[in-house]
Amino acid sequence: MCKKRVSNACYFSSVNEIAEGVWQELQCEGNLYFQPKYLAALEKGNPQIQFAYVLLLDDAKKAVALATIQVIDFHLDSVQNNLQSVVEWVRCMGRRIHLLSSQKPFKILTCGNTFVSGEHGIFIRPDQDKKQVVEQLAKAIVAFEKDISEETINAFMLKDFVNESLFITDALYNEGYNSFNVDPNMVLTLEDDWHTFDDYLAALKTKFRVKARKALKQSTYLRIQDVQVDEIAQILPKMTLLYKTVSNKASFNLGDFNLETYKFLKENLKENYFIKTYWLEDKLVGFLSGIINQNLLLDAHFVGIDYQFNKDYAIYQRMLYDYISLAIEHKAKAINFGRTASEIKSSVGAVPQNLTIYLRHKKSIPNRILSLFLKRIQPTEFSLKKPFKAQKV
Same domain? 284 vs 364: no
Same domain? 318 vs 192: yes
Residue 390 within any structural domain of the chain: no
Q: Are β-strands 122-124 and 63-74 bridged in parallel, bridged antiparallel, or unpaired? A: antiparallel
pLDDT of residue 4: 67
Residue 298 within any structural domain of the chain: yes
pLDDT tens string 225-259: 999 999 999 999 999 999 999 988 766 666 789 99
Same domain? 293 vs 336: yes
Average model confidence (pLDDT) across the chain: 88
Same domain? 14 vs 79: yes
Written as one letter, the residue type at 58 is: D
Same domain? 273 vs 145: no
Distance CA 160, CA 355 (A): 5
Residue 159 within any structural domain of the chain: yes
Residue 133 within any structural domain of the chain: yes
pLDDT tens string 54-90: 999 998 989 999 999 999 887 655 555 444 444 555 5
Kindly indicate the confidence band of residue 348, based on its pLDDT and cuts at 50, 70 and 90: very high
pLDDT of residue 307: 97
Same domain? 175 vs 216: no
Residue 38 buriedness (CB in 10 A; 0-12 / 13-18 / 19+) = buried
Number of domains in the chain: 2
pLDDT of residue 15: 95
Same domain? 32 vs 179: yes
Residue 392 within any structural domain of the chain: no
Residue 275 has pLDDT above 60, yes or no: yes
pLDDT of residue 248: 82
Same domain? 90 vs 46: yes
pLDDT tens string 180-211: 988 899 999 999 999 999 999 999 999 999 99
- Regarding predicted confidence, which is higher, 261 or 249? 261
Same domain? 286 vs 254: yes
Residue 388 within any structural domain of the chain: no
Residue 387 within any structural domain of the chain: no
Averaged pLDDT for residues 148-159: 80
Helix and strand totals (H; E) in the chain: 13, 16
CB contact at 8 A, 139 and 156:
no
Residue 6 has pLDDT above 90, yes or no: no
CA dihedral 224, 348, 337, 32 (to 10 degrees): -70
Residue 95 has pLDDT above 60, yes or no: no
Distance CA 43, CA 63 (A): 22
Residue 25 within any structural domain of the chain: yes
Q: Decide: helix, strand or coil at residue 185.
A: strand
pLDDT of residue 94: 58
Dihedrals phi, psi of 79, to nearest 5 degrees: -90, 120
DSSP-derived letter for residue 308 is: H
Same domain? 329 vs 258: yes
Distance CA 56, CA 61 (A): 9
Spell out the residues 6+ positions from residue 191 whose beta carbon is closer than 8 angstroms to its own.
Answer: 199, 203
Q: How many CA atoms lie within 13 A of 204 on its CB side?
A: 21
Kindly indicate the confidence band of residue 338, based on its pLDDT and cuts at 50, 70 and 90: very high
Averaged pLDDT for residues 318-347: 96
Q: Which CATH number do you get for residue 127?
A: 3.40.630.30
Same domain? 239 vs 177: no
Written as one letter, the residue type at 241 is: L
pLDDT tens string 13-27: 999 999 999 999 999
Give the length of the chain: 393
Same domain? 324 vs 367: no
Distance CA 299, CA 302 (A): 10
pLDDT tens string 99-130: 555 556 778 899 999 899 889 999 999 999 99
Written as one letter, the residue type at 143 is: A
Range of the domain at 300: 186-353
